Amino acid sequence: MMTETEIRALLDDEIRGAVGYHSSELSSQRQTALEYYYGNAFGNEVEGRSSYVSRDVADTIEWIMPSLMRIFTGGDTIVRFEPQGPEDEENAKQATDYVNYIFQRQNDGFLTLYTWFKDALISKNGFVKVYWEEYTEYKTENYENLTDDEFALIMQDDSVEAVEHSEDAIVDPMGVTTRVHSLKVKRKAQNGKCCVVPVPPEEVLVNKNPVAPFHKNRFRCHRRRVTIGELVEMGLIESPDEIPADNEDNFNEERTARHSFDETDDSLDTDAKDPLSREVWVAECYRKLDVDGDGIAEERTIVMAGNKILSNEEGYSAHLITVTPIILPHKLFGMSVADLVMDLQLLKSTVFRQILDNMYLANNGRYMALDGMVNIDDLLTSRPGGIVRVKTFDAVKPMQPPLLGAPAFNLLEYIDTIKENRTGVTRYNQGLDANSLNKTATGINQIMSAAQARVELIARVFAETGVKDLFYAILENVQKHQDHAKVIRLRNEWVNMDPREWANKFDLTVTVGLGTGSKEAQLAALNEETQFQLEAMKGGLPIVTPENMYNLRMKALEAKNVKGGDLFYTHPKDMPPAPPQQDPAIVKAQMDAEVNMQKIAAKTEGDQAKLMHKREMDVEKAALEREKEAFKAQMEREKIALEQERELMRLAAERDKLQVEIAKAQEELKLRREEKAVDVAVAREKNAQDAEVKKEQTKAKKADD
């Protein structure tokens, strides 16, 4: 069983020995191609001489790109899955719609193809990565007037988190009090999608002596710079301190050449201020390893950063897919269009520099001057209308260089001819379309005979290699990871898509860009076929069906780059079935019978209308009587209510009067009590005085005795 240290050591050796790692020959060649595409100086410039750089590499690639993009994105669908049997028809159609929807709508399909193809045209190979991404979505929801049961039911959901909550009491007309809830929640939903992203060629590593196809190589790796914060978000680490700083250069020379126009400031040290912004090398490696020691190597995806393995999973979690414009047999890395044109760009730039230098010398050339007979300062100062002071008229003579003239321009013309023969990009290019990729013998003959044969061949190579693999990878991802049906909008209809129903039920083939000829030739052919179909249908020739006509119109719209053909035409199978044709005599008899039935129906309808009118009058009369009775009952209820209200007012008045009398009696009782209390106090005072007098008398009497 392999330990983590053994796995890390093995993968480190694979990375350092991989093709494309840092200063390898492949990386150097791709760096040169990028510099030629950008029109950078060659490094052989001489000060004071022309430093013009021709842009043949960029011009050629930019001429090819519109044709390639029109081939693959000119129609509604980039690929089509073909059923292998009648039972697979509906599933194949759903797979076609869904996979194209994922690529073009859920991902930026046009930009992905554009970047992928341009990388291949410049840097030998272009790469895309297909993987499944799990993510969390948060949605805020507001609820009002929830009952206790409804509130409890919502809060039982584990995916719901309450943000705001308030309670209130509502009293209904019957006087019953009900408690209601106002609630604001944040609902969390786990979701996933298939992602397709272009990968810079310098981030892809492969073992030595790589072979095609790409997935058959022993070791493949996507190695890139990732911030610590991104690793935390992906759940690969928990703390920034888990990954130590690496001293390896951030980018190799190829990467530096790609970003030569980006403005950077090395003086800014953001890592110290924000540890999460620190970048480290992360290598996502795909290799077969016998990790469990059972003698069988299993496919594994291992993610490493620094000296640590962040994840080690069985199976390949992503697909790296490559295309190359010019295949070299039995090799993974082919040739780019830049490889075909770079030497011509150097040669053309050199010729142009010579022509420009020759013109500079012709307009401001060298002179012979008699020593001591010419004012050298005047001679060295070149300006329109300037004066050169001499002591004799023949003291200065021009050294006239021979003009290069026609031979030099003929050489430039010859260089352009070589470039056209190599690349198929001529000054007379009329463009391409998807229909130039027909596999039939007629299509192959047209490809080989057309002026754009080389460009069409590049498109066919892209279609049969990388584009096929890309869409197979998308299909495999959704079948493997999408665990529930999704509802998407296709052709102005909401369709339920469940890839689980497709798994292991049918085989698929992919068709990219069917048809023949250029846009103009195809439109002419389609118009001719349309006329023939119309004449055949008018003449009763049983060789054209409505479905044939529908398919022809769809192809015509594709040739015109008009998308959404289903908005303009309805497929015959979706039309309601037409009634079968009958014998004219039977039809006439049926029509006569129908006329008689209509007459009978008209009479019956008139009688029914009268009866209906009478019924309506009776209903209205009954309704009027009911309204009268209801009005009387309402008046009686209002009368009773009025009497009850008067009685209540009378009782209230009596109650108020009684309350006044009670208050008056209470006041009188209070006064009486106060008077009685005064009388008692006076009596007590009098008794006290009498007792004091009696005491004094007794005391006096005793004194007399």
What's the confidence (pLDDT) of residue 434?
47
User: What count of residues does the chain have?
Assistant: 705
Q: What is the pTM of this model?
A: 0.68
Instruction: Identify the pLDDT of residue 543.
Output: 77
pLDDT computed for residue 516 by the predictor: 40
pLDDT tens digits, one per residue of 141-163: 898 888 888 888 888 888 888 88
Which two structure tokens, joined as six digits, stand for 101?
């929807």
Ranges of the chain with pLDDT below 50 = 263, 265-268, 430-441, 443-448, 513-517
* Three state DSSP letters for 145-203: EECHHHHHHHHCCCCEEEEEEEEEEEECCCCCEEEEEEEEEEEEEEEEEEEEEEECHHH
Q: Are strands 366-369 and 204-206 parallel, antiparallel or unpaired?
A: unpaired
pLDDT at 418: 81
346 contacts 42 by C-beta, under 8 angstroms: yes
Q: What CA–CA distance (Å, rounded) separates 489 from 135?
A: 22
CA distance 565 to 571: 10
Q: Which residue has the tokens 């799990």?
A: 134
C-alpha 125/C-alpha 316 separation (Å) is: 22
Residues 183-219: tens digit of each pLDDT: 898 888 888 889 999 999 999 999 988 988 888 899 9
User: Angle at the Cα of 470 (from 466 to 476), degrees rounded to 5?
Assistant: 145
pLDDT at res. 436: 45
